[in-house]
Structure 1
Amino acid sequence: MRTIAVVSAGLSVPSSTRLLADRLATATLDALRQRGVEARAETVDLREHARDLADNLVTGFANERLSEAVTTVTTADAVIAVTPIFSASYSGLFKTFFDVLEKDSLVGKPVLLGATGGTARHSLALEHAVRPLFAYLRAVAVPTSVFAASEDWAGGDATTRSLHDRVVRAGDELAELVAARPPVEPVDPFADPVTSFAAKVGGRG
């Protein structure tokens, strides 16, 4: 059983960002199933962790709720990461979550990138802002990133043909990477029971 972590940085309820994240997850699971690979999606809704993330920034420690969300992402076989576009870039909430991850925790991990915005003018933010972030984290981003503007939702939660095709193509690309890799081994929480205080706070500015 493979696990796909779905990170959504949408702020509203309902959220077009969460809607796109769910569509990408469904497309990926369908593509994996066609390859004979069973998988499940686990969603991390960042709006639920806004205060947890702020606390982590100033203390250097994640509380239990945030730790569970971080573990979901870092131990998954792949990640789907979707952000709203604000001021031509990813949202602050989205960036903060990936800021608090441990160094190298996403190295080599397959990632599908998605974003939402009011108009298609913001679509290039995926390539000039979001993709470079994951390149820095040394994750393996699939070639197709998916941007959804307001007009792509066809007056509701149904997608236009163009968006649907991009979602299916991106999901297939992520499934191809996941199927070609061995499953991520579960982490033994007792394997390294002693971690010094200095190690925990090292590198925090």
Structure 2
Amino acid sequence: LSASTYDVEDLGPSLGTAKWARDLDGQAHAILEQILAADVLVVGSPTYKGSYTGLFKHFFDLIDPAALRGKPIVLTATGGGERHALIVEHQLRPLFGFFEAFALPTAVYATDKDFTDGVLRSEAILKRAAQAVDEVGFVLANRSAGRIAAE
């Protein structure tokens, strides 16, 4: 397995001015292609005023609605406190439902108190993350078995 991690800032300034995916510069377009080609996505956003960031949403607005169909996605978010915890269910899950992606049942939401010096330390949140990883493994194993059975 291999993994890549991207932040919205990695997409560069062309993201903010793009009206279509074709308007992205080379670096941003390459990141988009890698995201679309991934077997699984782990997406996340900090919470501002009860929702994900504008550039996060704008990036996904540039993606063809069918491009994420059936793709397993782990939903994650951070926020300043517990009152933002429903961002996953009220903002992220509907967004990826629109794309007909397979948002895994276990999402991960963490607050400032769950981190020490930028490192996740909360045992409860680490357990949720491990549960989400187990779900990814289950989905990928079953997809592979389904492909073998179909061949």
Q: TM-score, normalised by structure 1?
A: 0.66
Q: Within the alignment, does 1:121 sit opposite 2:83 as a pair? A: yes
Report if aligned partners of 2:65, 2:98 keep a CA contact under 8 Å in 1.
no
Report if aligned partners of 2:21, 2:29 keep a CA contact under 8 Å in 1.
no
Percent identity between the two aligned chains? 33
Q: Within the alignment, does 1:85 sit opposite 2:44 as a pair? A: no
Partner residue of 1:48? 10
Q: CA deviation at 1:60?
A: 5.2
CA distance in 1, matches of 2:112, 2:71: 30
Partner residue of 2:122? 160
Gaps (5+ residues) in structure 1?
Answer: 1-38, 183-205
CA distance in 1, matches of 2:21, 2:67: 20
Q: CA deviation at 1:92?
A: 0.6
Question: Aligned to 1:112, what secondary structure does the other structure show?
Answer: strand
149-158 or 74-83, larger mean C-alpha shift = 149-158
Q: TM-score, normalised by structure 2?
A: 0.88
Aligned amino acid, residue 141 of structure 1: A
Taking only aligned residues, the RMSD between alpha carbons, in angstroms, comes to 1.9
Number of aligned pairs?
A: 145
Q: How does 1:91-106 map to 2 (within 5 A)?
A: 91-106=53-68
Q: Residues 121 and 77 of structure 1: is their aligned pair in 2 closer, same or farther, counting only changes over 3 Å?
A: same
Higher-RCO chain (CA-CA 8 Å, sequence separation at least 6): 1
Higher-Rg member (1/2) = 1
Aligned amino acid, residue 172 of structure 1: D
Gaps (5+ residues) in structure 2?
Answer: 145-151
1:102-126 superposed Cα distances (whole Å, 9 cap, x missing partner): 2311001000000001111100111
Partner residue of 1:61? 23
1:138 aligns with one of 83, 100, 124: 100
Aligned amino acid, residue 83 of structure 1: S
Partner residue of 1:150? 112
2:70 aligns with one of 108, 114, 118: 108
Q: Residues 41 and 152 of structure 1: is their aligned pair in 2 closer, same or farther, counting only changes over 3 Å?
A: same
Name whichever structure is richer in helix by fraction. 2
CA distance in 1, matches of 2:57, 2:117: 30
Question: Aligned to 2:5, what secondary structure does the other structure show?
Answer: strand
